[in-house]
Amino acid sequence: MIYYNINDVIIRDMVESDPEIITHEEHLQGWTHQSIEKYTQRLQDVADGKCVAIVAEYKGNVAGYFNIYPNTMCGLYGGQGFPELIDLGVLKKYRNQGIGSLLIQVAEDIARKYADTVVIGVGLHRDYGAAQRMYVKHGYIPDGSGLWWKGKVLEPYADLQNDDEVALYFSKKL
């Protein structure tokens, strides 16, 4: 399905060829910790009816991606029927073209079909800096539950590793 098609940008459902393209492009830009399994799992989640996975194309090239899970099981809103937006990514060479904002807009439109509030967990190390700023710019606010690590609230003064499992949850009324 195509959700958006204006000028040089198309936002559509993820297809079978996307995981290999995305992984290859991320490795070229230095994100060598990424694996194709992350994206093939998204496709499996789509097939299982657990999520909607979308991809942005810019001038015919895969440029970014985002995932919408209709019922988050994480964070303060876990298990309460609120959709979660997961894993916004725009390849570095396509940034500052409005693609991330369009992905957020389309994801919110999809999430709106499930509930009037959407949540997102945002990583805290510097690789998430652009995403942190973008979510605030788009009206997301911290949900007040504090820092989460590996799916659980991190207790005050606890030790942790600043990895991709560290998140601060945000929400937005749609």
Q: What pLDDT digit, counting tens, does each position of 86-108 carry? A: 999 999 999 999 999 999 999 99
What integer is the mean pLDDT of 110-136? 93
15 or 149: which carries more pLDDT confidence?
15
Cβ-based burial of 138 (10 A; exposed 0-12, middle 13-18, buried ≥19): middle
Structural domain span for residue 135: 2-173
Q: Tokens standing for 65? A: 């991606």
CATH for 54: 3.40.630.30
So what's the pLDDT on residue 17? 98
Confidence of residue 151 (pLDDT cuts 50, 70, 90): confident
In total, how many domains does the chain have? Answer: 1
Q: What percent of the chain lies above the pLDDT cut of 70?
A: 100
CA 4, 6, 7 angle in degrees (round to 5)? 145
- Sheet strands side by side (includes 152-153): 2-6, 9-13, 52-58, 61-69, 84-90, 117-123, 166-173, 141-149, 152-153
* Strand residues in the chain grouped as ranges (E): 2-6, 9-13, 52-58, 61-69, 84-90, 117-123, 141-149, 152-153, 166-173
pLDDT above 90: residue 150: no
Confidence of residue 128 (pLDDT cuts 50, 70, 90): confident
What is the tens place of the pLDDT at every residue in 4-18? 999 999 999 999 999
pLDDT at 70: 96
DSSP 8-class letter at 83: -
Around Cβ 56, how many Cβ atoms within 10 Å? 27
Residue 74: pLDDT band with limits 50, 70, 90: confident
Which residues, including other chains, have CB under 8 Å from residue 130's CB and lie 6 or more apart? 95, 100
For tokens 């093939």, the residue is 40
Element (H, E) at 130: helix 129-137
**What's at 158, amino acid-wise?**
A
pLDDT at 136: 94
Distance CA 20, CA 1 (A): 20
C-alpha 71/C-alpha 78 separation (Å) is 8
pLDDT of residue 130: 86
Interval 17-72: pLDDT, tens: 999 999 999 999 998 888 999 999 999 999 999 999 999 999 999 999 999 999 98
